[in-house]
Amino acid sequence: MKKTWTIILLFLAVFLLAYILPFDNWEIPGPAGEALLMLQEYAREHVLLCLVPAFFIAGGIAVFVNQAAVIKYFGASANKFLAYGVASVSGTILAVCSCTVLPLFSGIHRRGAGIGPATAFLYSGPAINVLAIILTARVLGLELGVARAVGAVVFSVIIGLAMHFIFLKEEREKAKNAVDFAAGEEEEDRPLWKNALFFAAMVGILVFANWSGAARGEGGVWNFIFRIKWVLTGIFLAGLIGMLIAWFRKDELKEWTSSTWTFARQILPLLFIGVLVAGALLGRPGREGIIPSGWVAGAVGGNSLSANFFASLAGALMYFATLTEVPILQGLLGAGMGKGPALALLLAGPALSLPNMLVIRSVMGTKKTLVFISLVVVMATASGYIFGTVWS
């Protein structure tokens, strides 16, 4: 217990230092300054409102979701249409970034989800953000917005199915073990509708606390929700507190917080390290890291396979907070980036990042992580090349 509190206090100290210290006033030069400033941006904009709710959702999945149900609907032998259908459109609800999706992915993976549906969810969670797709269409052009939407949904299904068949032997063994497990699984002691409302409240907090407004000067439902986002977040939070008091025992709450802490302890150090490295290598938008931005802009002009591959690979390594990929690409397109490489970056970038890769490896191992990254990069490259050829 003493060791646990020591680690908690250490994490809290790192977070507070990253959040509070005025790195921008210190004028730390070069990549070191970019690394620290990116870590500060991440701490201020994503930890409290994105990652913390995601950790609690993941902890809830690990404790309160019936493992037999996960295996039934997302396991290796589950109905493929249902499993991939749900996983491929999850991003329309969650609207999370490539790092916030990690605790959720880890949660369903631990509960027995097949590698196919789990990786389809891992890709689609950050890739199919409705508002980001709308902004892409309005800022970068309708054809890029439509191509991004269609490509992201199709990608998630193809990547999931490819992962399933590449690791088919392991999946069959998992399915066999799942049948034996499900036969002895006890019934839940809480009605399904109560658990559903519990998770709906947490997802509501995650979604509305991170709701971003549409393009400046525009009205519509998106900006209306943005104006009342904290009211909606408060309603969901009040509902969650009421459910916890009325429906959950103290021992269950203790187990839930313990599971949440397990996810945080596993994921946060890797994320912080990855953000520092990404900031040092690539810098923040409009700023220089070790790799000059001019090299990036110069390498993604035209529509060659090499330009599309470079855009896919660069996007996979960079960290994009939700919606930031749109203004970044707007600048790159203005600097001469081709439309094909732009789509390649849009399909690879939001779903992957260097911090994201480090955590994925800790969840499903080096081999599967490399295959997943390769599938994303290769498919994004091919899609960008085809799109650039058609729309050139």
C-beta of residue 310 within 8 angstroms of C-beta of residue 90: no
Residue in the block written with tokens 């408060």: 234
C-beta of residue 247 within 8 angstroms of C-beta of residue 191: no
Write the CB contacts of 196 (distance below 8 Å, at least 6 apart in sequence). Answer: none
Domain segments of the chain as ranges: 46-390
- The per-residue pLDDT for 45 is 77
Q: How far is CA 320 from CA 55, 96, 258, 349, 385, in A?
A: 20, 11, 30, 7, 22
Q: What are phi and psi of 22, to 5 degrees?
A: -80, 70
- The per-residue pLDDT for 319 is 73
What is the mean pLDDT for each group of 10 consecutive residues in the chain (392 residues)?
79 86 79 83 79 82 71 66 74 61 77 81 76 70 85 86 87 66 54 87 86 62 86 95 92 89 79 77 71 72 87 83 66 74 87 83 89 93 91 71
- The per-residue pLDDT for 139 is 67
Enumerate the H helices of 128-284 as residue ranges. Answer: 130-140, 142-166, 168-183, 192-209, 221-227, 229-247, 250-282
> What is the spatial distance between Cα 31 and Cα 291, in angstroms, rounded to a whole number?
9
- The per-residue pLDDT for 182 is 47
- The per-residue pLDDT for 242 is 95
C-beta of residue 68 within 8 angstroms of C-beta of residue 181: yes
- The per-residue pLDDT for 354 is 82
pTM of structure: 0.65
Spell out a b/e string for 43-69, using b for 16 or more CB atoms within 10 Å of the CB, else e: beebbebbbbbbbbbbbbbbbbbbbbb
Q: How far is CA 161 from CA 84, 166, 179, 278, in A?
A: 8, 9, 21, 30
Handedness of CA 361, 101, 152, 278 (dihedral sign): negative
> What is the spatial distance between Cα 15 and Cα 224, in angstroms, rounded to a whole number?
32
